[in-house]
Amino acid sequence: VLVRSRRELLCRLKSQMFGLTLDGREPPFSVRGWERLMPRRSLEELYGARLNTCAVVASAGSILHSGLGEEIDGHDAVLRFNAAPTEGFENDVGTKTTIRLLNSQIMAQPRHEFNTSALYRNVTLLAWDPSPYNVDLQRWYEEPDSDLFTPYVERRQLNPSEPFYILHPGYIWRLWDLIQGNTIEDIQPNPPSSGFIGIMVMMGLCETVNVYEYIPSQRQTDQCHYYEDYQDNACTLGAYHPLIYEKVLVRRMSRTSERMIKVKGQLTLQGLRKIQC
């Protein structure tokens, strides 16, 4: 069953698109009143069927000098990752941010100034934390990889109208299973990167998803992020996250030509809503 067609892959993914975010109805969250703490509308309800085109902007250094900013801003929604800024990089990455996908380090590490930085305001926030594979919510709640729960509760209480969600670890590991189930090698038992998670979430919300600089273009560089000087080629092909395998799988889900990827740095994916399985 390893070799699946593009359609089969998309249908398999579609079958995994339930329970994306915590709804507070499972213990230990239910016991602690999280049902009232969580946003009243789910992420899917928030956007409904309104999003036609969406852009996902990977944070790779290779997006520098791409001039893709205006095109990215032309989408109905733009997803960015972690602390990736737009200020100072508008020409290459655009200015619009609709959703910001955060790993729990952003919320837990003081240097990110999660509570005060403008990066995390006036956008939909979607946070996640690498739980152990056998999702035990009680254990995860007691011992998250980085403490996202304390800042989450504080922020929800201060700002109850802000659309702020936590991805369900079960969803993260279903995505990992999809990668492993379509890869011959045994991949590392670490969760997929924020990049992969964000692309999959947007495929669930949008008709068409354009992904920028996730599969590296001919601008590929060792510069890890477009917004920092730090050099490390593992950022692109992976160390902790099964990045290379995620990227191969995303490539297989799309019909984009090699030339488009290489020259422009863009890969197009069909949203899952209209796919008949």
Cβ at position 151, least distance to ligand NCC in Å: 15
Please identify, among the stretches 43-51, 88-96, 148-156, 189-197, the one whose residues bind ligand NCC according to the rule CB under 6 A.
Answer: 189-197
- Residue from 63, 167, 206, 235 in contact with ligand NCC (CB under 6 A): 235
- If one asks whether residue 236 binds ligand NCC (CB under 6 A), the answer comes out as yes
Kindly tell me which of 104 and 208 has the beta carbon lying closer to ligand NCC. 104
- If one asks whether residue 131 binds ligand NCC (CB under 6 A), the answer comes out as no
Number of residues interacting with ligand NCC: please give it, by CB under 6 A: 20
- If one asks whether residue 58 binds ligand NCC (CB under 6 A), the answer comes out as yes
Kindly tell me which of 155 and 241 has the beta carbon lying closer to ligand NCC. 241
Kindly tell me which of 18 and 240 has the beta carbon lying closer to ligand NCC. 240
Residue with tokens 């692109």, as numbered in its chain: 236
Chain residues 79-118 in contact with ligand NCC, contact rule CB under 6 A: 81-83, 103, 105-106
Kindly tell me which of 34 and 166 has the beta carbon lying closer to ligand NCC. 166
- Residue from 124, 193, 208, 254 in contact with ligand NCC (CB under 6 A): 193
Enumerate residues 6+ apart whose C-beta is below 8 A from 20.
Answer: 42, 43, 44, 167, 168, 171, 201, 204
Cβ at position 149, least distance to ligand NCC in Å: 18
Cβ at position 110, least distance to ligand NCC in Å: 12
Please identify, among the stretches 44-52, 53-61, 63-71, 160-168, the one whose residues bind ligand NCC according to the rule CB under 6 A.
Answer: 53-61
Q: Which residue is nearest to ligand NCC (CB)?
A: 195
- Residue from 52, 113, 240, 255 in contact with ligand NCC (CB under 6 A): 240
